[in-house]
Amino acid sequence: MEEETPVADGPTPPRPPSHRTRLLASRWVQGMALLLYTLAIFALGLFIQGRLTPAPPGGWQATGPQHDPPASPPATGAPADTTPFVRVAERASPAVVNISTVTTRGGRTTGEAFRPFGNDPFFQDFFDRFFEGGTRGRQQHSLGSGLVIDKSGLILTNNHVIKDADEITVRFANKQEGKGTVVGTDRKTDLAVIRVQAKGELPVAALGNSDSLRVGEWAIAIGNPFGLAGTMTSGIVSALGRVMPTSSSRYSMVDLIQTDAPINPGNSGGPLLDSSGRVIGVNTLIFTESGTSSGVGLAVPVAAVKRVVPSLISEGSYSHSWLGITGVSLNPILSEGLGLEVDQGVLIESVVAGGPAESAGLLGGSRQRMLNGETMAVGGDIIVGLNGIEVRSFDDVVGYLASNTRAGQQVELTVLRGGQRRTFAVTLGERPDE
């Protein structure tokens, strides 16, 4: 006999949720968790970006007096939030030109005379074919850049861009073209001035001040790399006062500006600019193994432009001062090995016969000495001062003479001879041709 199970009084207990209901609830919780996780990651990203992204150059606050005025204000009608780089492009680009040249085959090519982009065999072939010696029939074609320095049609560029050219074509930012004629050249600074008969007044590049540059400031290049007109790249001033030998001369180029702004074939002769769009240098060469930018570009400082160009315009050339010595920079290891009493300065190894140094009474080495497998002339004067400025290396002498003197000017050299300081007045000569 079956008995009925008694039912307690009260509310009926809830039925357990079905499998479908539990699945939907689980997915809803997972979706909300994923949404919250995504929002948290996004917020964290914004926070990190705000902390790590550097302020634009116009927003930097100098810790001391600023030697440069602020960047130019936006042009009339320009958006209020225009960046400094846009303002530089708008200010400087109209004065930058593209230069193409044609040279008849059989003469010395620019690539043979001056290879600013390295000595890698593969790139030499690339360079010869497409930029500084490419052949089309009996002609060689090259590309470069330049900048307008006078509204009447004077263009500044590199000497190696237009060297030996039979035909020079200048293309302006407004697409106007004109034939260029050489006004003056200087191989030692790699500067040249050409003239173009243009229609109307041309926009002129504003020249800045390279003497007050500091490492770390913005550096902006505009030019014609690989034939791509109006290309602008940016970086910083990496170093100042570089002295670099060139394959085209036994004399070094001095006081160069080093930058990591990308500079490539075709940029030669174009401007290096500061953050206000003013010219601080003329791009001239790069160090590279691949033939393209490797972050080490060099520019002739605008101080040299201001010094050399007036003579190029009026005389067609520039006379560089010349001391007439060969020597070596001293350092503690070298001085110890030679038994010298000073560990910096310039040991004169030889003086050029009949040159300024010999005429003034300076002495070169009197005997040979082997040191670290190399033969050196020792016993000569040691230059320790020039016009009252301490001389630590040969670069100090070369740089000072290039930046501050002309042929025919007299300078005062302080030397050590036999442990005694002596002073000589030297009338500088004109640097002979190669």
141, 142, 160, 210: which is the annotated catalytic residue? 160
List 268, 275, 293, 321, catalytic entry: 268
Reply yes or no on whether 268 is catalytic: yes
Q: Is 84 exposed, middle or buried (0-12, 13-18, 19+ CB in 10 A)?
A: buried
Catalytic option among 100, 141, 142, 190: 190
Dihedral of the CA atoms 70, 259, 235, 295 (nearest 10)? 180
Distance of CA 334 to the CA centre of its chain: 32
Query: Cα(318)–Cα(187) distance, rounded to whole angstroms?
Result: 9
What does 214-253 look like in DSSP terms, one character per residue? -TTSEEEEEE-GGG-TTEEEEEEEEEEEEEEEETTEEEEE
Q: Are strands 374-378 and 367-371 parallel, antiparallel or unpaired?
A: antiparallel
DSSP string, 399-413: HHHHHH--TT-EEEE
Rounded distance, CA 298 to CA 305, Å?
Answer: 14
Q: Which residue has the tokens 């593969």?
A: 122
Q: What distance in Å separates the CA atoms of residue 368 and residue 432, rounded to the nearest whole number? A: 27
Across the chain, how many H-helices and E-strands are there? Answer: 9, 23
- Per the annotation, the verdict on 190 as an active-site residue is yes
Question: Catalytic site residues?
Answer: 160, 190, 268
